[in-house]
A and B are shown apart, each in its own frame.
Chain A
């Protein structure tokens, strides 16, 4: 009974400002104007910045795509996924092998990489999700490690050295090989990912995930197939990751097992949890932090993961909903 004492809530120093902003953007015109302005700024960005900053921004967009995919699994369906880098690897290697070994056009490899991710997702998810949701965490952790070991041991994946010579994508007769090309490519992908995430959230499926997160038994009693819904989230999220992996392969032209370590899965998860699971602006904010903090504070180098680990613990203990604030309760949720 000693546990009845209230635990201290970490209040957000920006709560007041954010509250005002929420009120302001309640007006849809302002909201659209703001979004429009951001989009225009991002579109003209490459003309005014160095290659280096463009590289970081491209990395940020890439993170947004991957983390929104992970957010479908973790944030929407409430399942912990610790091997997301593996699904990312499935996509990257599918494209890599088809492109460098079989010489297939980049755009044609994407459906294959989606199919590969769906198959992997089913093989891992179906037996696991039938049981307990939280088994998924450790099974995905295992899958992440196993995938890395497998691509290291196989010949077709180039072993520890990896694959080289992945073809550049060609779009409207232009070979995409400049950093600004990839900047725009990942920018469009990020917008698509945000769009799909919103549509999924405000739908029958999105609500089903929310019901299951709130009360599994009640959701089942309302006729929702808990296992299938979770599996759906897992597979959609995995496919997201695979697509991002395909584009990653095309951008790098060379991939190796070192790009798909457990630590990458953890960084993706960090971004999702830090900003706020299930909240799209929260995930975007989390990506900004995870990508920019190491760039801004270069000195933290070797302590980076330790600091992120401690940050994760603090967030979970004091502000599990993440940095991004929840919508004020009274606002009309039409």
Chain B
């Protein structure tokens, strides 16, 4: 059984169809990408998956359980984490506090235990901190844990966002344009990081990307959508050779590469 299964997902805003009967499957332990031209409906797919948008039709199954009508926080609790296209860090808080937010859904201290500061609560606080620090170390940001998030350079803020997503201890990680705004050096390290997340932490990766080079290098299978409709799927090579994809999207890109 696939980890994530999307069947005939449709999302309409008024009369406009942002996603149209999209179906795809993501196997456990894989790295998958969703690509498409600007405005093809990629982020809409993510927003449906994570409960921020309510789809107009179709079914989404995560580990066999439906995601339709589930609130975002419950979906995160089920084991699906996301990053945002335009960084959504808690800007005024420290890096460590940012990452600690990921542990919220894995812990449970409530009013009385907090006020009495019971031993269980103290243990839990330490655990939250330990996990957050471990995630920061994984992305190489542990030395900056006391910085206020908004004071970090852009590339570092991205890393904090990944650490924050990892701290929710997901089975599936959704990355929304992870390479946006990164230089080529940072992109190379990003590819490594994505592989490490999959290999070392056994987390399945589903990413949306603009940057074709990155997608081709990192993902084992690619889905291409245009105007909310899936037009192709396959390996990097297959997609590259698909005439519909070339027509919709890659045409210009290939010309640029050969030029």
Contacts and interface: CB of A to CB of B under 8 A. Distances in A.
Interface stretch (B35-43, B95-103, B211-219, B234-242): B95-103
B92 interface: yes
Nearest to A218: B88
Contacts of A236: 111
Q: Bin chain A's interface residue count.
A: 20 to 34
Nearest to B51: A220
A182 to B, nearest CB: 24
B73 A226 contact: yes
Contacts of B76: 220-223
Interface string A214-258: 110111111111100000100010000000000000000000000
Contacts of B91: 214-215
Nearest to A192: B115
Nearest to A203: B114
Nearest to A235: B111
Given A196-B115, A329-B148, A333-B94, A207 B73 contact: no
Given A203-B114, A204-B125, A221 B90 contact: no
Contact of A220 (B72, B81, B89, B148): B72
Interface residues of B, number: 42
Contacts of A332: 146
B249 interface: no
B123 interface: no
B93 A210 contact: yes
Interface in A13-63: none
Contact of B90 (A210, A225, A333): A210
A222 B105 contact: yes
B158 interface: no
A203 B108 CA distance: 11
A120 interface: no
Majority secondary structure of chain A interface residues (helix, strand, loop or mixed): helix
A223 B102 contact: yes
Interface string A316-334: 0000000000000100111
A210 B190 CA distance: 30
**Central interface residue in A210, A215, A220, by most chain B CB within 10 Å:** A220
Nearest to A224: B104
B89 A200 contact: no
A217 B146 contact: no
B114 A204 contact: yes
A204 B94 CA distance: 15
A207 B111 contact: no
Contact of A214 (B81, B93, B109, B125): B93
Interface string B141-182: 000001010010000000000001000100000000000000
Contacts of A223: 73, 76-77, 102, 104-106, 168
A222 to B, nearest CB: 4
Nearest to A220: B72
A226 B101 CA distance: 13
A211 interface: yes
Given A214-B91, A225-B73, A207 B97 contact: yes
A199 interface: yes
B1 interface: no
A141 interface: no
A224 B71 CA distance: 10
B76 to A, nearest CB: 4
A205 interface: yes
A203 B125 contact: yes
A333 B93 CA distance: 10
B101 A207 contact: yes
Contact of A208 (B82, B104, B124, B146): B104
A219 B109 contact: no
Nearest to B161: A218
A222 B114 contact: no
Contacts of A199: 114-115, 117
A218 B89 contact: yes
A205 B90 contact: no
B84 interface: yes
Contacts of A215: 88-91
B109 A203 contact: yes
A153 B92 CA distance: 48
Interface string A154-170: 00000000000000000
Contacts of B107: 204
Interface string B111-155: 100110100010011001000000000000000001010010000
Given A220-B52, A222-B105, 14 more contacts: A200-B114, A203-B114, A204-B128, A214-B91, A214-B92, A215-B91, A218-B84, A219-B90, A221-B82, A222-B101, A223-B168, A224-B73, A332-B146, A334-B146
21 contacts: A199-B114, A200-B111, A200-B114, A204-B128, A205-B109, A205-B110, A211-B90, A211-B93, A214-B91, A217-B52, A218-B84, A221-B76, A221-B81, A221-B84, A221-B88, A223-B102, A223-B105, A223-B106, A232-B111, A236-B111, A334-B146
Q: 3 smallest A-B Cβ distances: which pairs?
A: A223-B105, A223-B76, A218-B88
